[in-house]
Amino acid sequence: MPTLGTSRHLLVANNMSSTPSTSSALRAVFGDKLREGDLLSRYTSSRIGGPADYFIAVDTADELANAVKQARHFGLNHFILGAGSNILVSDWGYRGLVIQNRARLVSITEEGNRFIVRAESGAGLPTLARQCMLRGAAGLEWAATVPGTVGGAVFGNAGAHGSDIAATLRMATILQSNGDVRDWTLKDLQFAYRSSALKRGEAGIILAAEFELKRDDPKVLQEKVETFITHRKRTQPPGASIGSMFKNPKDDHAGRLIEAAGLKGVVIGKAEISPIHANFFVNLGNAKAHDVYSLIALAQSKVREKFGVNLELEIELVGEWGGQC
């Protein structure tokens, strides 16, 4: 079995399944927006994932909060789906309500030599980074190459090129488990490397985030972004992948360890440990979550055996995994 880490989204879903009464109650609330049995492979960057019992797309932070409150009211498991990167959805799918977050409103306000940037949690991180670049708002250039949404980035303290979300975030607006909405500070979020209090199990849904960025020359920022994009194209594989599979161990890199263990290019089923970068696992076409899961277990086992290092997942396992692998 792979080493799963501590994220609350590494779920073995409960036995709740779709029932006529639940379906009717949800449809009374959401109407034609509610879909049943949607394959989540349609919405993930890896093109992998089984069916969700229920699926709804929301377009504003208020709609997101309402959908979560309704899921809680009906006692349903619920998962917030952003851009579909950094997650591996079980072949068995998700027992409960998947809420696709398309709340993407962004505002950029100038205050002297700084910018206050507020973005709803469904806003695309690369798109936000480019908007800021064009305004001369510096601090998110690294994010231009990171797939995902603002909410996912805050949840996992996403980062690249020597920076991360925590470096510029002022606060995040959170729907708490008691139904209240409150702004969480950096102290509340307790960021660590590729982690936050939310990722470690603190209950809450990210509705929006606010950043403080410094003024700089847009041309200088564009050069930085182009450098990062060039580096990504040179060092990371194209095609359908989840993103960085494992967190980098202290003073080392997961990709180097996997490569040194002789696993670069290894294929199980239709999933491959990329020959370009060993910390990326690629869907070669019709790969199953089981294929990727098996590669995860193999990489962890071989690296532990050869180097005594336990690789911890950076991605999230979503859905029903009990007895699957």
Residues recognised as catalytic:
194, 244, 314
Residue of 205, 242, 321 whose CA lies nearest to 41: 242
Decide: 202 and 165 in contact? Cβ < 8 Å.
no
Q: How far apart are CA 242 and CA 84, in angstroms?
A: 8
φ/ψ of 222, rounded to 5, equals -65, -40
Instruction: Let me know how long the chain is.
Output: 325
**Neighbouring residues of 319: CB distance < 8 A, sequence distance ≥ 6:** 11, 13, 40, 49, 50, 89, 90, 92, 93, 94, 95, 289
Residue with tokens 């949404």, as numbered in its chain: 149
Query: What token pair was written down for 43?
Result: 């919405």
